[in-house]
Amino acid sequence: MNILICDGMHESGLALLRSTEGLKVDMPDQLNADEIKARLPDYDAIIVRSRTQVTADLLENAPRLKVIGRAGTGVDNIDVQSASARGILVMNTPGANAVAAAEHTLALMLSLARHIPQATQSMREGLWEKKAFMGTELYEQTLGIIGLGKIGSIVADRALGMKMNVLGYDPYIIPEAIAILGVESVSLEELLARSDFISLHTPSTSETRKILNRENLAATRPGVRIINCARGDLVDEEALYEFLVSGHVAGAALDVFAKEPPAGSPLLQLRNVIFTPHLGASSFQAQANVSRAIASQIADYLLYGIIRNAVNFPSLRPKDFERIKPYLTLAERLGSLQGQLCTPVQRIEITYSGSDFQDVPLQPLTQTVIKGLLDPILAEKVNLVNAPILLKERQIELFSTATTEARGYTGEITVRARGTRGESSVAGTVFQGEEIRLVRLNNYRLEAELEGVNLLVQNHDKPGTIGFIGTTLGNFQVNIANMHLSRTPERDRAIAIIRLDEEAPAEALDELRRHPNIISVQQVRL
Return the residue nearest ligand NAD (CB atom): 149
**Catalytic residue (choose from 10, 70, 86, 278):** 278
Is residue 10 among the annotated active site residues? no
* CB-based contact 327:346 (threshold 8 Å): no
CA distance linking residue 246 with residue 318, whole number of Å: 55
Give the strand order in the sheet containing 273-275.
184-185, 165-169, 142-146, 197-200, 224-228, 249-254, 273-275
Does position 309 interact with ligand MLT (CB under 6 A)? The reply is no
The reply to whether 93 sits near ligand NAD by the rule CB under 6 A is no
H-state helical runs in 125-258: 150-161, 175-180, 188-194, 214-218, 237-246
Q: Which of 25, 31, 50, 316 lies at the binding interface for ligand MLT (CB under 6 A)?
A: 50
Tell me the C-alpha distance between 484 and 148, whole Å.
57
Question: Which entry of 60, 129, 260, 380 is annotated as an active-site residue?
Answer: 260
Q: Is 98 in the site for ligand NAD (CB under 6 A)?
A: yes
Q: Which residues contact 144 (CB under 8 A, 6 or more apart)?
A: 166, 167, 168, 169, 186, 191, 192, 194, 195, 197, 198, 199
Tell me: does residue 201 bind ligand NAD (CB under 6 A).
yes
By beta-carbon proximity to ligand NAD, the closer residue of 282 and 486 is 282
Give residues 95-134 in contact with ligand MLT (rule: CB under 6 A).
97
If one asks whether residue 74 binds ligand MLT (CB under 6 A), the answer comes out as yes
Task: Give the shortest CB-94-to-ligand NAD separation in angstroms.
Answer: 6
Q: What are the DSSP calls for 133-157, one per residue?
A: T-----TT-EEEEE--SHHHHHHHH
Q: DSSP secondary structure string, 440-463?
A: EETTEEEEEE--SEEEEEEEE--T
49 contributes a contact to ligand MLT by CB under 6 A: yes
- From the list 339, 417, 342, 426, the residue with the least C-alpha distance to 375 is 339
Say which entry of ligand NAD, ligand MLT, none residue 173 contacts (CB below 5 to 8 A, set by partner kind): ligand NAD
Cβ 10 to ligand MLT, closest distance in Å? 11
Q: Which of 27, 37, 55, 74 binds ligand NAD (CB under 6 A)?
A: 74
For 347, list phi and psi in degrees, rounded to 5: -145, 140
Find the part of the chain contacting ligand MLT (CB under 6 A) among 21-29, 70-78, 315-323, 345-353. Answer: 70-78
122 or 208: whose CB is closer to ligand NAD? 208
Contacts for 463 with CB less than 8 Å, ≥ 6 apart: none
Contacts of 93 (CB under 8 A, 6+ apart): 70, 71, 72, 73, 289, 290, 293, 294, 297, 309
> Is 194 one of the annotated active-site residues of the chain?
no
Assign 194 to helix, strand or coil. Answer: helix
| 256 is an interface residue for ligand NAD by CB under 6 A | yes
Collect all residues with Cβ–Cβ distance below 8 Å to 475 and sequence separation of at least 6.
Answer: 508
Member of 52, 73, 141, 220 binding ligand MLT (CB under 6 A): 73
515 as an active site residue: the answer is no
On whether the CB atoms of residues 302 and 67 are closer than 8 A, the answer is yes
| Residue 280 interacting with ligand MLT (CB under 6 A) | yes
Q: Is 146 in the site for ligand NAD (CB under 6 A)?
A: yes
Do 19 and 13 meet the contact criterion of CB atoms below 8 Å apart?
no
Nearer to ligand NAD, 62 or 224 (CB): 224
Choose, from 49, 231, 308, 333, the residue flagged as catalytic: 231
HSE-CB at 61 with a 13 A cutoff on CA atoms is 13
Number of residues that bind ligand NAD (CB under 6 A): 32
150 binds, options ligand MLT, ligand NAD, none, Cβ within 5 to 8 A by partner type: ligand NAD
Residue 110 is which amino acid?
Answer: L
Question: Which 206-235 positions form the footprint of ligand NAD (CB under 6 A)?
Answer: 207-208, 229-231
Binding interface with ligand MLT (CB under 6 A): 49-50, 72-74, 97, 280-281
Catalytic center residues: 231, 260, 278
Q: Residues interacting with ligand NAD, by CB under 6 A?
A: 73-74, 94, 97-98, 101, 146-152, 169-173, 201-203, 205, 207-208, 229-231, 255-256, 278, 280-281
